[in-house]
Amino acid sequence: MTSDVDDTAELSRPARRQAEIAAYVVKNGSVSANDLVEAFGVSVMTVHRDLDELERQGVVRKYRGGVSAQPTSVFESNVAYRLNTAHAEKAAIARHARAMIEPGMSVMLDDSTSALSLVDLFEDITPLTVATNFLPAITRLAQLRDITLLALGGIYSATHDSFGGMPCAEAVEALHTDLLFCSVSAVSPTHAFHQEEEIVLVKRAMLRSAKTKVLLVDHAKLQRTALHRLAPLTDFDVVIVDEKTPDDLIRPLREHGATVEVAKL
C-alpha cells in the first residue's frame, strides 16, 4: 500500500492531486468536499471537479455531503496504475523486451503501462503488426508509419482506459500473434494474479492467442496477490523483472520453473 518508491512526479498537477485525493478517500473511507478543500488547499470547485473525474473512473462514489471509497479492487487497478509508475524501471523492462522483437513480427499488447513504454520503441522495428485493446497505445500507434495496427475493440472501461468484455475476448481469439507482452497486478512465486474478472477474461484469451508469451513485472508487483489467479507463471515463456528486484524474490520464481530475466537500467 505504501509505495516505497514515492514518485509523485511524472504526472500533471491535477492528475497528481486527484491521485492523492483518491488515496486520501480510500484511507478515510468517506470524506466531505470541505475536508478536501482544507487538506489540499484548493477551491471547492476544483475539489468537485476532481471528484467528478474520479467518479467517472469508478474510484469513488459521490453522494450529497461527500464521497466514499469504492471496493479496493477498483482503487488498486486504477490509482495504482497512476501513482505507481517506477518510470525508469518500466523503461528498462521495455528495452529488454524490445530485443525479442524482430521486424515483420506480430505483437499483442495488453492494457498496461509497461506495454505502453514498449510502444515508444516500436518506431525503429518496422515493419510490425501490433494488436492491442489499450486506448493510449492505439492512439500512439496510429501515428506511426509502417506499423499495421490491429485494434481490439470491446466495451470501454474508463478505469483502465481500454476495451474489454466479451467482444474483446472474441476479437483476441480471432488472432494469433508471434508475441504477447502483458502485465498483471500481482505475482506470487507460482502464479500471476489480477483483481478483476473481466480483465482476467481478456488476458486469458490473449495467452491462448500468442506463440511466445512474455510477462512484464516491476518489483512492486511481487510479494502480492489479488483475487483472481490468472495463470501459472510457467505459462509464460519469459518473465522480465527490473533490476531493483531483490534476488530473494527472484529465486522462488525460478525454483518453481519460471524463466526469469532481469532488465538492466
Partner DNA sequence: ATAACATAACACCAGAAGACGGTAAGACAG
Partner DNA sequence: CTGTCTTACCGTCTTCTGGTGTTATGTTAT
Residues that bind a copy of itself in the complex, under the rule CB under 8 A: 52, 55-56, 133, 135, 138-139, 141-142, 145, 148-156, 158, 161, 163, 167-168, 170-171, 174-175
Q: Which does 65 bind (CB under 5 to 8 A by kind): DNA, a copy of itself, none?
A: DNA
Grid cell digits, residue 160: 483502465
Q: Which of the ranges 41-49, 69-77, 186-194, 241-249 carries the binding residues for DNA, by CB under 7 A?
A: 41-49
| 82 C-beta neighbours (distance < 10 Å), count | 17
Distances (CA, A) of 242 to 4, 89, 101: 15, 6, 19
Q: Does 265 bind DNA (CB under 7 A)?
A: no
Q: In the bound complex, what is the minimum distance in angstroms from residue 163's beta carbon to a copy of itself? A: 5
Longest dimension (CA), the chain: 56
Residue 6 makes CB contacts below 8 A (sequence gap 6+) with: none
d(CA 233, CA 237): 8
Q: Which of the ranges 9-17, 103-111, 194-202, 205-213 carries the binding residues for DNA, by CB under 7 A?
A: 9-17
Q: Does 64 bind DNA (CB under 7 A)?
A: yes
Report the phi/psi class of residue 255: left, alpha or beta, with left for phi > 0 and alpha for psi in -120 to 50: alpha
Residue whose CB is less far from a copy of itself, 100 or 175: 175
Q: Does 12 bind DNA (CB under 7 A)?
A: yes
Give me the residues paired with residue 179 across strands.
107, 212
Q: In the bound complex, what is the minimum distance in angstroms from residue 143's beta carbon to DNA? A: 9
Grid cell digits, residue 132: 492491442
Q: Which residues contact DNA (rule: CB under 7 A)?
A: 12-15, 17, 32-34, 42-46, 48-50, 52, 62-66
